[in-house]
């Protein structure tokens, strides 16, 4: 997929940016003032022998420079891996201590961490927690079905503030089977991933595979008596992905009517079926479309004829608006619009114009901003969620890090700070204040031996940034099957302020595009950015592509990439 931007080469006035932070500051809760701390412990995903949990700790007492949370299990639960905390276990007793980057915990501030664990029999919730030896009040994240004010009241089919809160997420059986068939793949085969509806035939199922109704029926089985989110990728605009070739679609630039009647309308009809009213259906609407109309059109140096055509005919804006309008009619559907990523839209000449274009699309073809529940960033991309060893406000020997070759005057250095800033911008121009953001963390872990463990040398801004950055790509504009990439943060709800969830919308192991030209009937072309021998173009400042060799067509299974992602996973598997 096209992940590009136009460099802002002129000198810019420096202003404060928003660096990613593990601790989300919030005003103290007056009602909880008598309680020194509170702990919210939520089991986000559970299967036969394992579970994923998110924990949020709020400090209502004096500020701390470090912290440690402790609890004990009543059963045989074992913590196997975690993130955003150093986790240890002795018998049934567990300790979660701060990492080097999230030790400070102010009065009224919260910190979140998560972990995976195993169990057999029952997985009873812990009943008591301490913060630095002081007993905390506990919120187990449950819901009260008798309370009409409960924002996560189950089973009503009406929208909730965050669809991921208190819910399991659908595990695609087709992806699960492919992952489990790989050596070591069973470690992640139960993770939830997006279902990509990338052509009309996908609605009924391609080559005997599962169609939309098949997935929704399977989701009902997985749901049981719990809440469950199903993640769908709506991805079939006319003239799709105008700045790339690997992910071109089946519809020509002018086929907007076919997009509406043969693609969106059938999907909307299925989602409106009352059989599925108890599911929380998240749609991520038209990846890569609208940002291309900002960065890859005339007079930009990165302009393409195809993107100029799509801007002139308005079919991206019309298509997105139509999809939001029709899909948003069902009360259990949550529309999230693609908002690129920080290495695409984080520059001043891209940021605000992109937000304005998102609003234009959300007001087209009968849609309103109320049809948008939120936005998604980093879909199928590799940008790090949070950089720990530098911020956009740092300087080296008097020079701002924004002058480094890697940051190149961007105002954001990672996805979380970008997502939070984009959310604020969108609210400021008229989107509802309750919109949330999703971050695709499926392939942005950048673990393994190349992962930095400290800031880079302060010889120059370039050595400082390059030595400390998690994202090990050659250039931020590289987007195809990146060498050295790893699985990122596991899917989890509400990991940070304004972020509804970390998600794996791009199923790990599915190719971004073929390394060489391959004849096909899917409308997919050959993009040199997927060729490991390619020396680049203006969109990546003429750098090598960084792509893996021997890749198949986009969307097809790429075993070598899957193994690379597991090897470089962070948190490690």
**What integer pLDDT is reported at residue 25 of this predicted model?**
30
CA nearest 489: which of 474, 501, 471, 498?
501
Q: What is the mean pLDDT of the chain?
A: 89
55 pLDDT more than 50: yes
CA 369/CA 223 separation, integer angstroms: 30
Q: Which position has the higher pLDDT, 26 or 132?
A: 132
Instruction: Answer yes or no: are the C-beta atoms of 531 and 544 closer than 8 Å.
Output: no
Q: Which position has the higher pLDDT, 533 or 245?
A: 533
- What region, left, alpha or beta, does residue 271 occupy, with left being phi > 0 and alpha being psi -120 to 50 degrees? alpha
Is 226 a catalytic site residue? no
- For the stretch 216-238, what's the b/e string if a residue is b when 16 or more beta carbons lie within 10 angstroms of its beta carbon? bebbeebbeeebbbbbbbbbbbb
Lowest-confidence pick of 20-24, 114-118, 385-389, 411-415:
20-24
Backbone dihedral angles phi then psi of residue 87, each to the nearest 5 degrees:
-105, 135
Instruction: Answer yes or no: are the C-beta atoms of 20 and 414 closer than 8 Å.
Output: yes
CA 540/CA 92 separation, integer angstroms: 51
**What integer pLDDT is reported at residue 163 of this predicted model?**
96
11 pLDDT more than 70: no
- What region, left, alpha or beta, does residue 91 occupy, with left being phi > 0 and alpha being psi -120 to 50 degrees? left
Share of the chain above pLDDT 70, in %: 90
Instruction: Answer yes or no: are the C-beta atoms of 286 and 259 closer than 8 Å.
Output: no
Lowest-confidence pick of 171-180, 348-357, 393-402, 520-529:
520-529
Backbone dihedral angles phi then psi of residue 450, each to the nearest 5 degrees:
-85, -5
CA 189/CA 187 separation, integer angstroms: 6
- Quick: pLDDT tens for 302-322: 999 999 999 999 999 999 999
- Quick: pLDDT tens for 222-255: 999 999 999 999 999 999 999 887 677 899 999 9
Cα angle, residue 530 at apex, residues 181 and 416 outer, rounded to 5°: 80
The confidence band for 538, taking pLDDT boundaries of 50, 70 and 90, is confident
**What integer pLDDT is reported at residue 427 of this predicted model?**
95
Is 288 a catalytic site residue? yes
Pairing of strands 137-139, 168-169: unpaired
- Quick: pLDDT tens for 446-476: 999 999 999 999 999 999 999 999 999 999 9
Burial of 310 (0-12, 13-18, 19+ CB in 10 A): buried
Average pLDDT over residues 123-129: 88
- Quick: pLDDT tens for 169-214: 999 999 999 999 999 999 999 999 999 999 999 999 998 999 999 9
Q: Which of 338, 408, 414, 512 is catalytic?
A: 512
Residue found by looking up tokens 């187990």 in the block: 140
CA nearest 481: which of 573, 550, 538, 570?
550
Average pLDDT over residues 62-69: 92
**What integer pLDDT is reported at residue 311 of this predicted model?**
97
140 pLDDT more than 70: no
DSSP letters along 455-485, please? PPPTTSHHHHHHHH-S---S-TT--SSBTT-
- Quick: pLDDT tens for 358-374: 999 999 999 999 999 99
CA 188/CA 172 separation, integer angstroms: 12
108 pLDDT more than 50: yes
157 pLDDT more than 60: no
CA count, 13 A, side-chain hemisphere, 438: 33
10 pLDDT more than 50: no
The confidence band for 143, taking pLDDT boundaries of 50, 70 and 90, is very low
Q: Which of 288, 338, 462, 500 is catalytic?
A: 288
3 pLDDT more than 70: no
* Structure tokens given for 134: 């002081």
The confidence band for 67, taking pLDDT boundaries of 50, 70 and 90, is very high
**What integer pLDDT is reported at residue 107 of this predicted model?**
86
Average pLDDT over residues 474-494: 96
**What integer pLDDT is reported at residue 244 of this predicted model?**
80
151 pLDDT more than 60: no
Share of the chain above pLDDT 90, in %: 74
**What integer pLDDT is reported at residue 145 of this predicted model?**
34
**What integer pLDDT is reported at residue 74 of this predicted model?**
87
CA 505/CA 442 separation, integer angstroms: 7
């Amino acid at each position: 997929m096209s992940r590009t931007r136009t460099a802002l080469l002129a000198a810019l006035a420096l202003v404060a940016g928003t660096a990613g932070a593990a601790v989300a500051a919030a005003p103290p809760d007056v009602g909880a003032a008598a309680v020194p701390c509170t702990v919210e412990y939520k089991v986000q995903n559970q299967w036969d022998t394992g579970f994923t949990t998110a924990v949020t700790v709020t400090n209502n007492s004096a500020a701390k420079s470090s912290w440690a949370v402790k609890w004990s299990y009543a059963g045989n639960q074992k913590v196997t891996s975690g993130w955003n905390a150093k986790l240890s276990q002795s018998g049934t007793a567990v300790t979660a201590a701060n990492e080097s980057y999230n030790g400070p915990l102010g009065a009224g501030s919260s910190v979140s961490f998560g972990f995976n664990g195993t169990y057999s029999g029952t997985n009873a919730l812990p009943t008591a927690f301490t913060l630095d030896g002081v007993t905390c009040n506990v919120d187990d994240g449950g819901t009260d079905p008798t309370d009409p004010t409960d924002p996560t009241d189950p089973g009503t089919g009406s929208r909730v503030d965050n669809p991921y809160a208190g819910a399991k997420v659908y595990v695609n059986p087709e992806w699960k089977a492919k992952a489990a068939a790989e050596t070591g793949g069973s470690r992640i085969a139960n993770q939830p991933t997006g279902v990509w509806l990338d052509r009309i035939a996908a609605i009924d199922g391609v080559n005997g595979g599962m169609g939309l109704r098949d997935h929704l029926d399977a989701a009902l089985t997985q749901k049981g008596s719990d809440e469950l989110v199903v993640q769908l990728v709506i991805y079939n605009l006319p003239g799709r992905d105008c700045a790339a070739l690997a992910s071109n679609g089946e519809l020509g630039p002018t086929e907007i009517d076919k997009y509406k009647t043969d693609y969106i309308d059938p999907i909307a009809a299925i989602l409106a079926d009352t059989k599925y009213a108890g599911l929380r259906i998240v749609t991520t609407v038209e990846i890569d479309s609208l940002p291309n109309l900002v960065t890859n059109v005339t007079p930009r140096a990165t302009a393409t004829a195809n993107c100029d055509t799509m801007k002139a005919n308005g079919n991206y804006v019309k298509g997105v608006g139509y999809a939001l309008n029709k899909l948003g009619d069902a009360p259990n559907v949550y529309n999230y619009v693609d908002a690129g990523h920080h290495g695409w839209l984080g520059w001043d000449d891209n940021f605000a114009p992109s937000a304005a274009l998102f609003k234009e699309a959300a007001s087209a073809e009968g849609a309103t901003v109320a049809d948008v529940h939120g936005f998604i960033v980093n879909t199928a991309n590799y940008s790090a969620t949070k950089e720990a060893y530098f911020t956009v406000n740092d300087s080296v020997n008097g020079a701002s890090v924004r002058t480094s070759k890697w940051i190149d005057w961007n105002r954001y250095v990672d996805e979380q700070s970008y997502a939070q800033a984009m959310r604020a911008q969108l609210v400021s121009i008229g989107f509802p204040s309750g919109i949330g953001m999703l971050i695709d963390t499926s392939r942005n872990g950048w673990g393994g031996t190349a992962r930095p463990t400290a800031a880079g040398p302060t010889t120059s801004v370039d050595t400082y940034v390059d030595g400390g950055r998690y994202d090990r790509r050659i250039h931020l504009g590289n987007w195809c099957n990146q060498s050295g990439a790893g699985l990122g943060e596991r899917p989890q709800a509400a990991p940070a302020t304004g972020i509804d969830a970390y998600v794996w919308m791009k199923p790990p192991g599915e190719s971004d595009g073929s390394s060489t030209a391959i004849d096909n009937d899917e409308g997919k072309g050959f993009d040199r950015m997927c060729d490991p021998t390619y020396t680049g173009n203006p969109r990546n400042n003429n750098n090598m592509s960084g792509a893996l060799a021997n890749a198949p067509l986009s969307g097809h299974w790429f075993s070598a990439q899957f193994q690379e992602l597991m090897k470089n996973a962070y948190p490690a598997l």
